[in-house]
A and B are shown apart, each in its own frame.
Chain A
Amino acid sequence: MHVRIAGLPLSIACDAVCHELAVHAFGHLRGPAVPGATPAEMVVGEVPPARTGSAGLGVYRLAGGGVCVHEPGRLVETYRPATGIRLVVDAGAASDPELVSHPIAAAVAAWALDAGVLAFHAGAVEADGRAVLLVGANGAGKSTAALAAAVTGFGYLGDDLCLVDPAAAEVHSWYATAKLLPDSVAAIGTDRWPRLAVNRLGKAVVCLQHVPTVRLVAGAPIAAIAVLDRRSTAPPGRLRPAEAVPALRSTAVPGPGGMGPWLHAVVALSRRVPVHRVPATWDLAALVDTLRGLASCEATA
C-alpha cells in the first residue's frame, strides 16, 4: 500500500491484520508507488515483555536518530531514518482502540519531523480550499466541532491529530479515523456510522472512509486557528500573537525533537495565521457558522 502523508511518500507492507489497520487509518491518502519512498512494515508478532531494570513503557529517542515506542507485551514501534518505520504488535493488542484509531503515530511523527512537518494535537476542517485548525485540550470539543463541520459540507482533515508544515502554514490529514463520545454521537447524529472499536473512555472509533457524506481532504493552507474553549461564553475573539502561543500549548505532542520545533512552529503560525478563541458550544450550527467565517480569514504573509 502506497500513501502520501503530508506529501511525503510512504510504502507500507503489512500482514493481513495490519493491512486492515493501515487501510482504515491511511486509505484516504493512497497514491501511486514512488521511487525512494520511505518503507514501513506493520506486522503481528511476539513483543517482548518488560525486563527487570528497564524503563518499560515509553517513547525512546534513538542515539542515531529516530524513535521507538515500546509497550511491553503489546507493541514495539520504531522509526529509523536509515531503515524506515516498523510496527510489531502482539495479536491480542491489534484491536486496541488507540492503535486502531492512530497506528504508528510516534513513528510517523518522527519521520515527518525530519522533513520539517510537525505532529499537532489538533483537529482541522476545510472550506473552499482553506483550513481551520481546531485546538483544545482533551474534552474541549475538537472531534465534535470537526465532525459537526464535516457533516455540513466542510472537508475533514482530522479530529485529534494532524500534521502541520509551519513554513508553508499548511495542515495535512494524518488519519481517516475519528473518536466520538456518546453525547457527540447523539448531537451530530452519527450513531449509524460503522464503528471500528470503542475505547476505555467510551469513545467510538469510526473510519470516515466508510461514511459517504464525509469528504476527506489531504491538506490545505491554514486560514485560521480556532482555540476551542468550553468555559467561555464570550463571543469569538482574535488573540494577539503573544497571547496565541500559550493558547496553543495543547497542540504540543511529545516527540524526538523535543519542544524546540514545536515552539518555533507555533510562533511562526501565530505571526502568520489569525488565532481566535471560540466558545465550544453545543449549538453546533452556530459553531459551524463561526468556523465557516474563520475559514474565510486572510492570512498575513
Chain B
Amino acid sequence: MAGQRFTVNAHRCTWDTVDGETMVIDTVSGALFVLRGLGSTVWEALAQGAGDGARLAEEAASRYGTDAAEALSATIGTLVGAGLLTADDGGADVTVAWPGSAEPAGVTRFDDIADILTLDPIHDVDHDAGWPYDQADDHE
C-alpha cells in the first residue's frame, strides 16, 4: 500500500453516514459494509478526492498511536480488496478532518443482502430488442 493513492470507487457503491459510522453498499456484490471510527473518517475524506494509504496511516500513527495506524491500514486494505477503494494517481491529497480522539478504524461486512440480490437478479434489458419483452408484448 506504500505510496499508493486511493479514492472511493463511486461507480461501484452507494453510502451514507449515521452516528459516526458509514454504511456502504457494494452494488456489484450486494454486500453491506459498516465502517467505524477512523475508517468512517477516512472514507468521508476519500469520497472527496484521493489519498496516499501509507501517508494516511502515518498521520493516524502520529495522532493516535501505532495500533490506530495498523487498524486503519487493515481497514483500507479490506476496502481496496473489496473494490470499494480504487487506485487514483491524479490530483492533490485530500484533507482529512482528523478528530481530537478517535475510535480505531473497523469494518464489518454483511453478505445476507447480497443473498437477496442473488436470489432475485435484476438485469438491464433492451425494451425493444431484449427478452422477455418481444414475447410478452405479443399479449398486449
Interface of B is mostly: mixed
Q: Which residues of B from 113 to 134 have beta carbons under 8 Å from A?
A: 113, 116-117, 119-127, 130-133
For residue B119, which residues in chain A have a CB less than 8 angstroms away from its CB?
A: 254
Query: Could you tell me the distance in whole angstroms from the C-beta of A228 to the nearest C-beta in chain B?
Result: 16
Interface of A is mostly: mixed
For residue A240, which residues in chain B have a CB less than 8 angstroms away from its CB?
A: 19
Chain B residue total in the interface (Cβ 8 A): 38
Chain A residue total in the interface (Cβ 8 A): 42
Number of A-B residue pairs with CB-CB distance less than 8 Å in the complex they form: 116
Contact across chains for B132 and A259 when beta carbons are under 8 A apart: no
Contact across chains for A242 and B132 when beta carbons are under 8 A apart: no
For residue A249, which residues in chain B have a CB less than 8 angstroms away from its CB?
A: 32, 110, 112-113
* Residue in B closest to A267 when the chains form the complex, CB atoms: B16
| Known pairs A88-B139, A242-B18; A258 contacts B27 (CB<8 A) | yes
Contact across chains for B121 and A78 when beta carbons are under 8 A apart: no
**A76–B103 CA distance with the chains assembled, in angstroms:** 51
Selected contact of B123 from candidates A60, A64, A78, A267, CB within 8 Å? A60
Contact across chains for B125 and A264 when beta carbons are under 8 A apart: no
**A69–B66 CA distance with the chains assembled, in angstroms:** 53
**A199–B116 CA distance with the chains assembled, in angstroms:** 20
**Is A263 positioned at the interface, with any CB of B under 8 Å from its CB?**
yes
**Is B23 positioned at the interface, with any CB of A under 8 Å from its CB?**
yes
For residue B32, which residues in chain A have a CB less than 8 angstroms away from its CB?
A: 246, 249, 263
Closest 4 CB pairs of A and B: A242-B21, A242-B19, A48-B135, A260-B14
